[in-house]
Structure 1
Amino acid sequence: MSRIEVFTDGACSGNPGPGGWGWAVAPDGTPTGSGGERDTTNQRMEVYAVLDAIRTLGADGTPLEIVSDSTYVVKCFNDSWWVKWERNGWKNSKKQPVANVDLWKPLIELVRSSDVTFRWVKGHSGHPMNELADQLAVAAIPAG
Protein backbone atom coordinates (compact mmCIF):
# COMPACT_ATOMS: atom_id res chain seq x y z
CA MET A 1 0.00 0.00 0.00
CA SER A 2 1.48 3.37 -0.96
CA ARG A 3 1.93 6.10 1.62
CA ILE A 4 -0.66 8.93 1.52
CA GLU A 5 0.87 12.41 1.74
CA VAL A 6 -1.20 14.65 4.04
CA PHE A 7 -0.47 18.35 4.50
CA THR A 8 -1.54 19.87 7.82
CA ASP A 9 -1.61 23.38 9.24
CA GLY A 10 -2.90 25.46 12.12
CA ALA A 11 -3.71 29.16 12.31
CA CYS A 12 -4.63 31.61 15.02
CA SER A 13 -6.02 35.14 15.00
CA GLY A 14 -4.07 36.38 17.98
CA ASN A 15 -2.09 33.87 19.98
CA PRO A 16 -4.00 32.96 22.05
CA GLY A 17 -7.23 33.73 20.28
CA PRO A 18 -9.64 32.10 17.87
CA GLY A 19 -7.92 29.48 15.77
CA GLY A 20 -8.41 26.94 13.03
CA TRP A 21 -6.80 23.79 11.73
CA GLY A 22 -6.86 22.06 8.37
CA TRP A 23 -5.47 19.13 6.44
CA ALA A 24 -5.56 18.05 2.80
CA VAL A 25 -4.38 14.99 0.88
CA ALA A 26 -1.90 15.44 -1.97
CA PRO A 27 -1.74 15.68 -4.89
CA ASP A 28 -5.14 17.24 -5.58
CA GLY A 29 -6.24 18.39 -2.12
CA THR A 30 -8.99 15.84 -1.49
CA PRO A 31 -10.15 14.73 0.92
CA THR A 32 -9.80 17.56 3.44
CA GLY A 33 -10.68 18.26 7.05
CA SER A 34 -10.87 21.43 9.11
CA GLY A 35 -12.27 22.93 12.28
CA GLY A 36 -11.61 25.56 14.88
CA GLU A 37 -11.78 26.72 18.48
CA ARG A 38 -12.72 30.10 19.92
CA ASP A 39 -9.89 30.32 22.46
CA THR A 40 -6.72 28.49 21.48
CA THR A 41 -3.12 28.79 20.32
CA ASN A 42 -1.41 28.27 17.00
CA GLN A 43 0.57 25.30 18.32
CA ARG A 44 -2.59 23.65 19.61
CA MET A 45 -4.18 24.00 16.16
CA GLU A 46 -1.07 22.52 14.51
CA VAL A 47 -1.30 19.44 16.74
CA TYR A 48 -5.07 19.12 16.32
CA ALA A 49 -4.74 19.13 12.50
CA VAL A 50 -2.40 16.14 12.67
CA LEU A 51 -4.55 14.32 15.23
CA ASP A 52 -7.68 14.69 13.09
CA ALA A 53 -5.88 13.69 9.88
CA ILE A 54 -4.54 10.48 11.42
CA ARG A 55 -7.88 9.66 13.09
CA THR A 56 -9.62 10.15 9.76
CA LEU A 57 -7.14 8.58 7.35
CA GLY A 58 -4.68 6.36 9.18
CA ALA A 59 -6.47 4.66 12.05
CA ASP A 60 -7.09 1.61 9.84
CA GLY A 61 -3.36 1.17 9.20
CA THR A 62 -3.17 3.17 5.98
CA PRO A 63 0.42 4.44 5.70
CA LEU A 64 0.58 8.24 6.02
CA GLU A 65 3.25 10.88 5.61
CA ILE A 66 2.28 13.99 7.55
CA VAL A 67 3.80 17.10 5.99
CA SER A 68 3.75 20.10 8.29
CA ASP A 69 5.35 23.52 8.54
CA SER A 70 5.30 23.11 12.33
CA THR A 71 8.69 22.21 13.76
CA TYR A 72 6.80 21.66 17.04
CA VAL A 73 4.92 18.74 15.48
CA VAL A 74 7.64 17.33 13.23
CA LYS A 75 10.43 17.44 15.83
CA CYS A 76 8.16 15.89 18.45
CA PHE A 77 8.21 12.69 16.40
CA ASN A 78 11.39 12.87 14.31
CA ASP A 79 13.52 13.92 17.31
CA SER A 80 11.53 11.77 19.80
CA TRP A 81 10.58 14.67 22.10
CA TRP A 82 7.55 12.67 23.20
CA VAL A 83 9.74 9.87 24.59
CA LYS A 84 11.47 12.35 26.89
CA TRP A 85 8.15 13.95 27.85
CA GLU A 86 6.73 10.59 28.93
CA ARG A 87 9.91 9.63 30.77
CA ASN A 88 9.89 13.01 32.61
CA GLY A 89 6.25 12.80 33.69
CA TRP A 90 5.03 15.08 30.88
CA LYS A 91 7.51 17.85 31.69
CA ASN A 92 9.50 19.58 28.97
CA SER A 93 13.23 20.33 28.99
CA LYS A 94 12.57 23.39 31.16
CA LYS A 95 10.79 21.19 33.73
CA GLN A 96 7.46 22.84 32.83
CA PRO A 97 4.28 20.90 32.01
CA VAL A 98 4.10 19.98 28.33
CA ALA A 99 1.60 22.23 26.57
CA ASN A 100 -1.36 20.57 24.85
CA VAL A 101 -0.83 17.27 26.65
CA ASP A 102 -4.55 16.50 26.17
CA LEU A 103 -3.87 16.36 22.41
CA TRP A 104 -0.36 14.94 22.50
CA LYS A 105 -1.31 11.81 24.46
CA PRO A 106 -3.97 10.56 22.00
CA LEU A 107 -1.83 11.64 19.03
CA ILE A 108 1.18 9.70 20.32
CA GLU A 109 -0.99 6.62 20.88
CA LEU A 110 -2.28 6.87 17.30
CA VAL A 111 1.22 7.27 15.90
CA ARG A 112 2.42 4.28 17.92
CA SER A 113 -0.34 2.09 16.52
CA SER A 114 -0.29 3.44 12.95
CA ASP A 115 2.14 3.68 10.05
CA VAL A 116 2.94 7.40 10.11
CA THR A 117 6.04 9.38 9.12
CA PHE A 118 6.61 13.13 9.43
CA ARG A 119 8.24 15.65 7.10
CA TRP A 120 8.77 19.38 7.53
CA VAL A 121 8.00 21.90 4.79
CA LYS A 122 8.76 25.61 4.92
CA GLY A 123 5.53 27.51 5.55
CA HIS A 124 4.27 30.28 3.29
CA SER A 125 6.85 29.40 0.66
CA GLY A 126 4.42 28.83 -2.18
CA HIS A 127 4.04 25.06 -1.88
CA PRO A 128 0.48 24.55 -3.23
CA MET A 129 -0.54 21.85 -0.73
CA ASN A 130 0.89 23.72 2.26
CA GLU A 131 -0.94 26.84 1.09
CA LEU A 132 -4.18 24.84 0.78
CA ALA A 133 -3.83 23.47 4.32
CA ASP A 134 -3.21 27.04 5.53
CA GLN A 135 -6.29 28.31 3.67
CA LEU A 136 -8.44 25.58 5.25
CA ALA A 137 -7.11 26.46 8.72
CA VAL A 138 -7.67 30.19 8.29
CA ALA A 139 -11.18 29.65 6.88
CA ALA A 140 -12.05 27.51 9.94
CA ILE A 141 -11.21 30.24 12.47
CA PRO A 142 -14.46 31.03 14.32
CA ALA A 143 -15.74 34.58 13.85
CA GLY A 144 -15.44 36.98 16.79
Structure 2
Amino acid sequence: MTHSTVRDARGVILHRPGPRGDCDYAIGVVTTDDNSVLDTFVAEGSNAGLASLATLEHVADFAAASNLRILTRVGHAAIRDWLEQQTPWHVVPDYLHGDNGRALQNLATELLVDHIGAVTADLPPLQIATDASARVGHPGIGIAYVTDRGDYQQQHLADELSVLTGELQAIRMALTHQRATRIQILTDSHTSAQWINGPCHSNNFRTARLVEDIRELAKGRDVTVKWVRSHNGHRLNEIADRLAVSARRNAEAHVADDIRRQISDHIVAGLRRRKPAPGRPPRHETSREDTNR
Protein backbone atom coordinates (compact mmCIF):
# COMPACT_ATOMS: atom_id res chain seq x y z
CA MET A 1 0.00 0.00 0.00
CA THR A 2 1.30 3.50 -0.83
CA HIS A 3 0.19 6.80 0.57
CA SER A 4 -1.45 7.66 -2.76
CA THR A 5 -4.00 4.90 -2.22
CA VAL A 6 -5.07 6.31 1.13
CA ARG A 7 -8.18 8.47 1.15
CA ASP A 8 -8.75 11.33 3.58
CA ALA A 9 -11.67 11.39 5.99
CA ARG A 10 -12.68 13.29 9.11
CA GLY A 11 -13.49 11.89 12.53
CA VAL A 12 -14.45 12.97 16.00
CA ILE A 13 -14.33 11.18 19.35
CA LEU A 14 -16.51 12.62 22.10
CA HIS A 15 -17.41 11.40 25.58
CA ARG A 16 -20.27 11.98 28.01
CA PRO A 17 -21.11 10.64 31.49
CA GLY A 18 -23.95 8.20 31.96
CA PRO A 19 -27.15 9.37 33.66
CA ARG A 20 -26.11 8.16 37.13
CA GLY A 21 -22.47 9.23 36.79
CA ASP A 22 -21.02 5.77 37.47
CA CYS A 23 -19.85 5.13 33.90
CA ASP A 24 -19.00 7.06 30.74
CA TYR A 25 -19.79 6.63 27.06
CA ALA A 26 -17.67 7.66 24.08
CA ILE A 27 -18.57 7.81 20.41
CA GLY A 28 -16.45 7.83 17.29
CA VAL A 29 -17.94 9.13 14.04
CA VAL A 30 -16.06 9.06 10.71
CA THR A 31 -17.30 10.95 7.66
CA THR A 32 -16.13 11.88 4.20
CA ASP A 33 -15.42 15.49 3.25
CA ASP A 34 -19.01 15.81 2.00
CA ASN A 35 -20.35 14.66 5.42
CA SER A 36 -21.37 11.15 4.37
CA VAL A 37 -21.10 8.91 7.44
CA LEU A 38 -18.65 6.05 6.99
CA ASP A 39 -18.65 4.57 10.50
CA THR A 40 -19.99 5.08 14.04
CA PHE A 41 -18.94 3.30 17.20
CA VAL A 42 -19.93 3.68 20.87
CA ALA A 43 -17.98 2.34 23.85
CA GLU A 44 -18.80 2.27 27.56
CA GLY A 45 -16.18 2.47 30.30
CA SER A 46 -15.84 3.06 34.02
CA ASN A 47 -14.39 6.46 33.17
CA ALA A 48 -14.15 8.80 30.19
CA GLY A 49 -10.54 7.91 29.44
CA LEU A 50 -11.18 4.18 29.07
CA ALA A 51 -14.28 4.74 26.94
CA SER A 52 -12.42 7.22 24.71
CA LEU A 53 -9.41 4.92 24.36
CA ALA A 54 -11.59 1.99 23.29
CA THR A 55 -13.25 4.23 20.72
CA LEU A 56 -9.90 5.49 19.41
CA GLU A 57 -8.70 1.90 18.97
CA HIS A 58 -11.82 1.11 16.92
CA VAL A 59 -11.35 4.23 14.75
CA ALA A 60 -7.70 3.27 14.14
CA ASP A 61 -8.67 -0.29 13.15
CA PHE A 62 -11.38 1.04 10.84
CA ALA A 63 -8.95 3.49 9.23
CA ALA A 64 -6.35 0.80 8.59
CA ALA A 65 -8.90 -1.66 7.19
CA SER A 66 -10.41 1.02 4.91
CA ASN A 67 -7.18 2.67 3.73
CA LEU A 68 -8.18 5.96 5.32
CA ARG A 69 -6.21 8.80 6.84
CA ILE A 70 -8.67 10.21 9.36
CA LEU A 71 -8.15 13.74 10.66
CA THR A 72 -9.61 13.24 14.12
CA ARG A 73 -10.72 15.61 16.86
CA VAL A 74 -10.44 13.90 20.26
CA GLY A 75 -12.44 15.43 23.10
CA HIS A 76 -10.61 13.75 25.98
CA ALA A 77 -7.58 15.92 26.78
CA ALA A 78 -5.25 13.16 28.03
CA ILE A 79 -6.03 10.86 25.09
CA ARG A 80 -5.57 13.78 22.66
CA ASP A 81 -2.20 14.70 24.22
CA TRP A 82 -1.05 11.09 23.98
CA LEU A 83 -2.12 10.83 20.33
CA GLU A 84 -0.28 14.05 19.45
CA GLN A 85 2.96 12.52 20.77
CA GLN A 86 2.63 9.51 18.47
CA THR A 87 3.48 9.35 14.76
CA PRO A 88 0.27 7.82 13.44
CA TRP A 89 -0.53 7.62 9.77
CA HIS A 90 -4.11 6.42 9.74
CA VAL A 91 -5.41 8.55 12.64
CA VAL A 92 -4.06 12.09 12.72
CA PRO A 93 -5.02 14.48 15.55
CA ASP A 94 -6.74 17.60 14.27
CA TYR A 95 -8.99 20.29 15.75
CA LEU A 96 -11.33 20.36 12.72
CA HIS A 97 -12.10 24.04 12.77
CA GLY A 98 -14.76 25.48 10.47
CA ASP A 99 -18.36 24.69 9.63
CA ASN A 100 -17.72 21.08 8.61
CA GLY A 101 -15.91 20.39 11.87
CA ARG A 102 -18.71 21.90 13.94
CA ALA A 103 -21.32 19.97 11.97
CA LEU A 104 -19.46 16.72 12.64
CA GLN A 105 -19.21 17.44 16.37
CA ASN A 106 -22.92 18.30 16.53
CA LEU A 107 -23.78 15.06 14.72
CA ALA A 108 -21.62 13.00 17.10
CA THR A 109 -23.14 14.70 20.14
CA GLU A 110 -26.66 14.06 18.90
CA LEU A 111 -25.93 10.40 18.16
CA LEU A 112 -24.27 9.87 21.55
CA VAL A 113 -27.11 11.50 23.49
CA ASP A 114 -29.65 9.37 21.60
CA HIS A 115 -27.65 6.20 22.29
CA ILE A 116 -27.31 6.91 26.02
CA GLY A 117 -31.00 7.75 26.25
CA ALA A 118 -31.95 4.48 24.55
CA VAL A 119 -29.73 2.15 26.61
CA THR A 120 -30.44 3.84 29.97
CA ALA A 121 -34.11 4.66 29.56
CA ASP A 122 -35.12 2.42 32.47
CA LEU A 123 -32.45 3.65 34.90
CA PRO A 124 -33.76 5.75 37.81
CA PRO A 125 -32.16 9.12 38.53
CA LEU A 126 -29.29 9.34 40.96
CA GLN A 127 -30.84 10.40 44.25
CA ILE A 128 -28.78 12.86 46.31
CA ALA A 129 -29.85 14.05 49.75
CA THR A 130 -28.35 17.32 51.01
CA ASP A 131 -28.44 19.01 54.42
CA ALA A 132 -26.94 21.67 56.65
CA SER A 133 -26.41 21.75 60.43
CA ALA A 134 -26.01 24.76 62.73
CA ARG A 135 -25.51 25.36 66.43
CA VAL A 136 -27.93 28.05 67.59
CA GLY A 137 -26.17 31.28 68.42
CA HIS A 138 -22.78 30.17 67.14
CA PRO A 139 -21.08 30.66 63.76
CA GLY A 140 -20.18 27.64 61.70
CA ILE A 141 -22.38 25.45 59.48
CA GLY A 142 -21.79 21.83 58.60
CA ILE A 143 -23.01 20.82 55.13
CA ALA A 144 -23.10 17.48 53.38
CA TYR A 145 -24.56 15.44 50.57
CA VAL A 146 -24.89 11.68 50.09
CA THR A 147 -25.96 9.70 47.03
CA ASP A 148 -28.08 6.56 46.97
CA ARG A 149 -24.93 4.52 46.27
CA GLY A 150 -23.02 5.88 49.26
CA ASP A 151 -20.82 8.59 47.70
CA TYR A 152 -20.64 11.62 49.97
CA GLN A 153 -18.90 14.89 50.69
CA GLN A 154 -18.84 17.19 53.71
CA GLN A 155 -17.65 20.72 54.43
CA HIS A 156 -17.50 23.00 57.43
CA LEU A 157 -18.25 26.67 56.71
CA ALA A 158 -16.47 28.19 59.71
CA ASP A 159 -17.88 31.72 59.61
CA GLU A 160 -21.32 31.02 58.14
CA LEU A 161 -24.40 31.92 60.21
CA SER A 162 -27.29 31.23 57.82
CA VAL A 163 -28.68 27.69 57.68
CA LEU A 164 -30.48 28.56 54.44
CA THR A 165 -27.20 29.59 52.85
CA GLY A 166 -25.71 26.31 54.06
CA GLU A 167 -28.58 24.31 52.55
CA LEU A 168 -28.04 25.98 49.19
CA GLN A 169 -24.28 25.47 49.37
CA ALA A 170 -24.84 21.76 50.04
CA ILE A 171 -26.95 21.50 46.87
CA ARG A 172 -24.35 23.41 44.86
CA MET A 173 -21.62 21.14 46.23
CA ALA A 174 -23.55 18.04 45.16
CA LEU A 175 -24.12 19.27 41.61
CA THR A 176 -20.50 20.43 41.35
CA HIS A 177 -18.96 17.10 42.34
CA GLN A 178 -21.44 14.59 40.90
CA ARG A 179 -21.19 14.12 37.13
CA ALA A 180 -24.53 12.36 36.71
CA THR A 181 -26.88 13.78 34.08
CA ARG A 182 -30.09 12.45 35.64
CA ILE A 183 -30.37 13.62 39.26
CA GLN A 184 -33.03 14.03 41.93
CA ILE A 185 -31.95 16.33 44.76
CA LEU A 186 -33.72 15.72 48.08
CA THR A 187 -33.64 18.67 50.47
CA ASP A 188 -35.52 19.34 53.71
CA SER A 189 -35.23 23.08 53.07
CA HIS A 190 -38.62 24.07 51.69
CA THR A 191 -37.39 27.57 50.83
CA SER A 192 -34.40 26.23 48.89
CA ALA A 193 -36.63 23.94 46.82
CA GLN A 194 -39.10 26.74 46.11
CA TRP A 195 -36.45 29.23 45.05
CA ILE A 196 -34.61 26.77 42.80
CA ASN A 197 -37.80 25.51 41.16
CA GLY A 198 -39.47 28.92 40.86
CA PRO A 199 -38.83 32.63 41.35
CA CYS A 200 -36.15 33.49 43.90
CA HIS A 201 -37.51 36.19 46.20
CA SER A 202 -34.36 36.70 48.25
CA ASN A 203 -33.02 40.22 48.68
CA ASN A 204 -29.69 38.79 49.81
CA PHE A 205 -27.09 38.90 47.04
CA ARG A 206 -25.21 35.80 48.24
CA THR A 207 -28.38 33.73 48.48
CA ALA A 208 -29.60 34.83 45.06
CA ARG A 209 -26.17 34.07 43.59
CA LEU A 210 -26.21 30.56 45.06
CA VAL A 211 -29.59 29.90 43.45
CA GLU A 212 -28.23 31.09 40.09
CA ASP A 213 -25.13 28.90 40.50
CA ILE A 214 -27.33 25.86 41.11
CA ARG A 215 -29.45 26.59 38.05
CA GLU A 216 -26.31 26.94 35.93
CA LEU A 217 -24.95 23.62 37.19
CA ALA A 218 -28.27 21.96 36.32
CA LYS A 219 -28.27 23.19 32.71
CA GLY A 220 -27.92 20.42 30.17
CA ARG A 221 -28.86 17.81 32.78
CA ASP A 222 -32.14 16.33 33.95
CA VAL A 223 -32.13 17.71 37.50
CA THR A 224 -35.14 17.88 39.81
CA VAL A 225 -35.17 19.32 43.33
CA LYS A 226 -37.69 17.76 45.71
CA TRP A 227 -38.58 18.81 49.24
CA VAL A 228 -38.73 16.07 51.89
CA ARG A 229 -39.85 16.56 55.47
CA SER A 230 -36.93 16.46 57.89
CA HIS A 231 -36.70 13.82 60.64
CA ASN A 232 -39.58 11.93 59.09
CA GLY A 233 -37.88 8.59 58.50
CA HIS A 234 -36.53 9.24 54.99
CA ARG A 235 -33.35 7.17 55.09
CA LEU A 236 -31.23 9.19 52.67
CA ASN A 237 -32.27 12.48 54.29
CA GLU A 238 -31.42 11.13 57.74
CA ILE A 239 -27.95 10.08 56.57
CA ALA A 240 -27.33 13.50 55.01
CA ASP A 241 -28.40 15.09 58.31
CA ARG A 242 -25.97 12.93 60.29
CA LEU A 243 -23.13 13.77 57.87
CA ALA A 244 -23.83 17.51 58.17
CA VAL A 245 -23.98 17.30 61.97
CA SER A 246 -20.73 15.33 62.10
CA ALA A 247 -19.01 17.85 59.81
CA ARG A 248 -19.91 20.66 62.22
CA ARG A 249 -19.22 18.83 65.49
CA ASN A 250 -15.93 17.35 64.29
CA ALA A 251 -14.73 20.79 63.23
CA GLU A 252 -15.77 22.33 66.55
CA ALA A 253 -13.95 19.57 68.46
CA HIS A 254 -10.88 19.62 66.15
CA VAL A 255 -11.21 15.90 65.47
CA ALA A 256 -8.35 14.43 63.44
CA ASP A 257 -9.01 13.89 59.73
CA ASP A 258 -8.63 10.11 59.85
CA ILE A 259 -11.16 9.86 62.68
CA ARG A 260 -13.58 12.11 60.77
CA ARG A 261 -13.31 9.77 57.80
CA GLN A 262 -14.02 6.72 59.96
CA ILE A 263 -17.10 8.39 61.46
CA SER A 264 -18.45 9.39 58.05
CA ASP A 265 -17.74 5.99 56.51
CA HIS A 266 -19.65 4.37 59.36
CA ILE A 267 -22.63 6.68 58.74
CA VAL A 268 -22.93 5.66 55.08
CA ALA A 269 -21.94 2.00 55.53
CA GLY A 270 -25.54 0.78 55.35
CA LEU A 271 -26.06 2.41 51.95
CA ARG A 272 -22.96 0.75 50.53
CA ARG A 273 -23.95 -2.69 51.78
CA ARG A 274 -27.47 -2.34 50.44
CA LYS A 275 -26.58 -0.93 46.99
CA PRO A 276 -23.11 -2.03 45.92
CA ALA A 277 -21.86 -0.87 42.56
CA PRO A 278 -20.39 -3.96 40.84
CA GLY A 279 -16.87 -3.24 39.69
CA ARG A 280 -17.19 0.42 40.72
CA PRO A 281 -16.38 0.97 44.41
CA PRO A 282 -18.12 3.97 46.02
CA ARG A 283 -16.16 7.19 45.95
CA HIS A 284 -16.01 9.78 48.67
CA GLU A 285 -14.08 12.84 49.63
CA THR A 286 -14.14 15.19 52.58
CA SER A 287 -12.89 18.70 52.89
CA ARG A 288 -13.19 21.69 55.12
CA GLU A 289 -13.86 25.24 54.11
CA ASP A 290 -12.61 27.92 56.51
CA THR A 291 -14.07 30.93 54.74
CA ASN A 292 -17.37 31.77 53.11
CA ARG A 293 -17.72 31.43 49.38
Aligned position for 2:152? 32
Match of 2:168 among 32, 47, 50: 47
Give 1:99 deviation, angstroms: 4.8
Work out the CA distance in 2 between the residues paired with 1:111 and 1:121.
20
Q: Using the alignment, how far apart are the partners of 2:153 and 2:185 within structure 1?
A: 14
Question: What is the SS of the residue equivalent to 2:136?
Answer: coil
The TM-score normalised by the length of structure 1 is: 0.78
Choose between structure 1 and 2 for higher RCO, CA contacts under 8 A separated by at least 6 residues.
1
Query: What are the superposed Cα offsets for residues 29-81 of structure 1, whole Å, 9 maximum, x if unpaired?
Result: x10111111121211110111101111114xx521000110112111123x12
Choose the corresponding residue for 2:234, options 124, 127, 131.
127
DSSP 3-state at the match of 2:158: strand
The answer as to whether partners of 2:169 and 2:210 remain within 8 angstroms in 1 is: yes
Q: Which residue of 1 aligns with 2:90?
A: none
The counterpart of 1:81, out of the listed 199, 207, 215, is 199
Trace 1:104-115 onto structure 2 (pairs within 5 A): 104-115=211-222
Q: Is 1:8–1:22's contact at 8 Å kept on the other side of the alignment?
A: yes
Unpaired runs of at least 5, structure 1? 86-91
Could you say if the C-alpha distance between residues 15 and 49 of structure 1 is closer, same or farther in structure 2, counting changes exceeding 3 Å? farther
- What are the ranges of 5 or more consecutive residues in structure 2 without an aligned counterpart? 1-119, 254-293
| Residue identity opposite 2:245 in structure 1 | V
Residue aligning to 1:21 = 143
> Residue in 1 aligned with 2:78?
none
> What SS does the corresponding residue of 1:139 show, helix, strand or coil?
helix
* Among 123, 131, 136, the residue aligned to 1:9: 131
The number of aligned residues is 128
Amino acid corresponding to residue 142 of structure 2 in structure 1 = G
Q: Aligned pair 1:71/2:71, yes or no? A: no
Indicate the RMSD between aligned Cα atoms, in angstroms: 2.0
Q: In the alignment, is the contact (CA less than 8 A) between 2:195 and 2:211 conserved in 1?
A: no
Structure 1 residue 112: Cα displacement: 2.8
Asked if the contact 1:16/1:39 (under 8 Å) is kept, the reply is no
Is the 8 Å Cα contact of residues 8 and 46 (structure 1) preserved in structure 2?
yes
- 1:114 to 1:15, Cα distance in 2 relative to 1, 3 A: farther
SS state at 1:113 partner: coil
8 A contact 1:65–1:118 mirrored in 2: yes
Shift of 1:101: 3.2
Shift of the 106–128 alpha-carbon distance from structure 1 to 2, 3 Å rule, reads same
Shift, 1:127, TM fit: 1.6
TM-score w.r.t. structure 2 length?
0.40
Larger radius of gyration: 2
